[in-house]
Structure 1
């Protein structure tokens, strides 16, 4: 029972983090590994468990979704679903160490871009005397790459999305948070379906169900809290989460 309580709390924390700024995987994955699951199985279980929490957050934000630059929301979501499924397939056939080795550097890069990307985009636009932004095709290609990463490992993929949109389109991190949550849910859904069908996720049903319940509570509560925070404070929370996750990930190994 004490172990299940800890897993439940880890699920709540992961759901809140994903709703506020990202990084829920960094809480859920170590918690499951600590209770005896292999890293690959824990990765799959955490992805499945976090799906309902991401969907709960997306539901809270359903009326606040705004398009990402020139892209269609439906097309962007379809790309996220496809990339998430591809990434999940890679997890089942490739060594987990491949993306794991690159993840700290990707996260560090995303954190820096998130911190300065919007200002840099504005500065470049001012210097050139015209707006600078990614084309719809470039946005979709970038989203597909991030969705593959999200389906495979998923650590801070939401932060990386905000970094891409901030630097490439000049979008505000706080204003883009609802769409980030929706795309995160899309990535998780397709990955979770494949994990349920083709992996050993269901070998730990009690851990899965406990973390799932916690993630739903955390995702719903975190989304409501994020909606009430001033935009400046929410941007600070997102950036602080990104920086903290970067440091923790480097310390992790």
Structure 2
């Protein structure tokens, strides 16, 4: 890796950590930067998943007060999340690289669309939870399993998917659902991290650059969150994501 490529992924990691703290969608920055630095798309995906893990840990820790009284609920979803993440990781590692190369532009585009819809999803979740709506437990576990499969396979927009699922099937306050989303996201990412560290083509040199840069970006982003416009930032990332999806499709 050249110095220029190292600087590129360091800056991308910093920006990804910052936008995750403000609006979410940081992987739409760090993943294509790793590809631009010369990593194959599958290698970039597993490397990105490994590098952003500390951010999931920090997010779950930030919601520990909201999680303290949801132990039984979280334990009920933990097994489903771990099984789904295991399946998603296995699919990614076992399937031919060409399969991921073919679907990744659509995954990036899907992540961009989910990020664009994030405010509406959050508003719908809030309205539903205030109304006391709640679905069936079996349906909740099926939806969480599928979300975990997606999260381990690619992960862009996982938080938005989980918030929507929890909002549909669990009647509770939005901040408590956000805490549950953070914990489930951490579980999914941890399973993927272990699987990729043991069996995946992780570029540990890139991880050593992106991970601390992302942590620093998350800290700075958290400090600046109240001064920045999440809507403007979200729109910028969505446009960037669409451009990246087109670029990946044409490579």
- For Structure 1 versus Structure 2, the TM-score category normalised by the shorter chain is 0.7 to 0.9
Runs of at least 5 residues in structure 2 that lack an aligned partner in the other structure: 247-251
The corresponding residue for 2:155 is 154
2:107–2:154: 8 Å Cα contact kept in structure 1? no
Pairwise mapping of residues 95-114 of structure 1 onto structure 2 (< 5 A)? 95-96=99-100, 97-98=102-103, 100-101=105-106, 104-105=109-110, 108=113, 111=117, 114=121
- Structure 2 match to 1:91: 92
CA distance in 2, matches of 1:241, 1:77: 32
Q: How does 1:172-251 map to 2 (within 5 A)?
A: 173-201=174-202, 204-222=203-221, 237=230, 245-251=237-243
The 8 Å contact of residues 129 and 174 in structure 2, kept in 1 or not, is answered as no
| 2:140 paired residue number | 139
Give, in angstroms, the shift of residue 22 of structure 1: 2.5
- Could you tell me how far apart the structure 1 residues matched to 2:4 and 2:127 are? 48
Residue matched to 1:117: 124
Q: Determine the C-alpha separation between the residues in 2 that align with 1:67 and 1:17.
A: 29
1:151 deviates by: 0.3
User: 1:21, 1:158 within 8 Å by CA — same for their partners in 2?
Assistant: no
Query: Would you say the 8 A contact 2:147–2:158 is kept in 1?
Result: yes
* SS of residue paired to 2:44: helix
- 8 Å contact from structure 1 (residues 121, 169) kept in 2: no
1:41-95 CA deviation, whole Å, 9 max, x = no partner?
Answer: 0000000111122212322332232677x97112223322322221111112231
- Alignment partners' CA distance in 2, 1:225 and 1:67: 30
1:79 maps to 80
Q: Take 1:121 and 1:177, find their aligned partners in 2: how far apart are those partners? A: 14
CA shift, 1:139, in A, is 1.8
Count, aligned residues: 237
Which sections of structure 1, spanning at least 5 residues, go unmatched? 126-130
Aligned residues: CA RMSD: 3.3
Following TM superposition, by how much is the alpha carbon of 1:194 offset from its aligned partner in structure 2, in angstroms?
A: 0.8
Change (3 A) 1:5 1:247: closer
Q: Cα distance 1:143–1:198, how it changes in 2: closer, same or farther (>3 A)? A: same
Cα–Cα, structure 1 residues 243 and 116, in superposed 2: closer, same or farther, change >3 Å? Answer: farther
Distance (whole Å) between structure 1 residues aligned to residue 136 and residue 5 of structure 2: 48
After superposition, the Cα gap between the structure-2 partners of 1:116 and 1:59, relative to the gap in structure 1 and judged at 3 Å, is closer
CA contact (8 A) 1:150 1:157 kept: yes
Aligned to 1:61: 63
Aligned match for 1:14, one of 13, 16, 30: 16
